[in-house]
A and B are shown apart, each in its own frame.
Chain A
Amino acid sequence: MKILVNEEVHDVGVATLDALLRELGYGDACVATAVDGDFVAAARRGARQLHDGCRVEILAPMQGG
């Protein structure tokens, strides 16, 4: 299925957010996630099912004012 990750289309064969992060190489990264605009806590990524066309945001610490 096709998933939009940080506004880039990815064709993936995984079903959960946790698996998606591992497949894309974020396995041990310090990131926070949201699916379709809703925050998904790290502890709930394994249970969060993805669907075709869903929007995933993967954010990390960055400089800020």
Chain B
Amino acid sequence: MTLFYGTPLSSRLMLGTAQYPSPEILAEAVRNANAGVVTVSLRRESAGQRAGQAFWNLIRDLGVPVLPNTAGCHSVREAVTTAQMAREVFGTDWIKLEVIGESDTLQPDMFALVEAARILSEDGFRVFPYMTEDLVGAERLLRAGCEVLMPWGAPIGSGKGLNNLFGLRALRAHFPDIPMVIDAGIGVPSHAAQAMELGYDAVLINTAVARAGNPVKMARAFGMAVEAGRMAYIADPMEARDMAVPSTPTIGQAVLA
């Protein structure tokens, strides 16, 4: 069983809560995905509307652990302050740490990420760092106190799948005992299954479910793919070969030519 900061999850699918057509569809998608975690965020609240309170009530009713994020932060200070605010509001020391370094790709700023991770870890946070697949950066994050890594598959919301298979394989192989989650870029269930077949411990998905024509059905498809991919990994897949090898026995084959 994989533990994330000592906590087992009910499933290996982490689901984002943004961009759904309605709160009802969001709730139904979370249930159909059998999500083990849902991600949440913080934004400015209007005193009159209290939209945040209604959303938080809906999430609490689902009974799924929450992972707050620092989405939209571009500096260490912004990310640290946002994490502190999230800890108070959501009542958890888990934080999905995002420090964005480049606006077009939303690529993580690995230097700022390591610094923010160190500050937050020393302050008692359990940091889930949204990172590139950089091996040196991963090592620095672990030294900064992270016990989970969350490399991107592709830019957030792109649906491109796993852009750098070699890099993701290398990362998995270098840190075999660290719980790792592919976060961002997954577009269809086969991408999620592929991530799990590589030996990743979980995937985090949002746009691919929320923006599907039928988010509830897609949520269920992702849940099945994650389960299938994990089972395939445990079952130890065969090695790929460059040349064909007959699967039907050749011994005893008739000579008819």
**Residues in A lying within 8 Å of B, measured CB to CB:** 6-7, 24-26, 29-34, 37-39, 41-42, 57-65
Contacts and interface: CB of A to CB of B under 8 A. Distances in A.
Given A60-B52, A63-B55, A31 B40 contact: no
Interface in B136-174: 156-157
B246 interface: no
B87 to A, nearest CB: 9
B19 interface: yes
Interface residues of B, number: 40
A62 B85 contact: no
Contacts of B56: 30, 60-61
Interface stretch (B2-10, B43-51, B217-225): B43-51
B206 A59 contact: no
A61 B207 contact: no
A65 B52 contact: no
| Consensus secondary structure, chain B interface | mixed
Nearest to B68: A64
B53 interface: yes
Interface of B: 16-20, 26, 39-45, 47-48, 50-53, 55-56, 59, 68-69, 71, 77-78, 81-82, 84-86, 88-90, 156-157, 204, 206-207
A59 B44 contact: yes
A50 to B, nearest CB: 17
Nearest to A23: B47
A39 B40 contact: no
B72 to A, nearest CB: 9
Given A31-B89, A39-B84, A60 B42 contact: yes
B219 to A, nearest CB: 14
Most chain B CB neighbours (cut-off 10 Å) among A26, A33, A39: A39
B81 A37 contact: yes
B42 A59 contact: yes
A16 B240 CA distance: 67
B85 to A, nearest CB: 3
Given A29-B45, A32-B89, A65-B16, A60 B51 contact: yes
